[in-house]
Amino acid sequence: MKIGRIIGTVVATRKDERLTGHKLMITQGLDLEGNPEGDAVIAVDTVGAGIGELVIFTEGTAARYAADKPQSPIDAAIIGIIDNIDVYEELLKKRR
């Protein structure tokens, strides 16, 4: 899973019917400092998350299970709203 922020939405009238009923959220992955990292993805929301929220998102087959639609074209889903992150980056200075 990755840490991301919901920064927008996509509207598509003509689409795979298995997407109907899901909000399509533009979700930007973030690095440990909160800066954008990697491509933004379109993820379906499964937890009632809103624009601006910091979320956990998942990709691939995991996203279809998140949406309870294992045989759908979904490949990214929001699965948690983050309350708190604790990161100890100084641990990265440890040598093997």
Interactions with a copy of itself, residue window 15-74 (CB under 8 A): 15-16, 18-19, 24, 26, 28-32, 34-43, 46-48, 51-52, 54, 56, 58-66, 70-74
The site for a copy of itself, by CB under 8 A, has a size of 74
Distance of closest approach, residue 59 Cβ to a copy of itself, in angstroms = 6
81 lies in the binding site for a copy of itself (CB under 8 A): yes
User: 27: which residues sit within 8 A by CB, 6+ positions away?
Assistant: 4, 5, 6, 7, 40, 41, 42, 43, 55, 57, 76, 78
Phi, psi of 17 (to 5 degrees): -65, -20
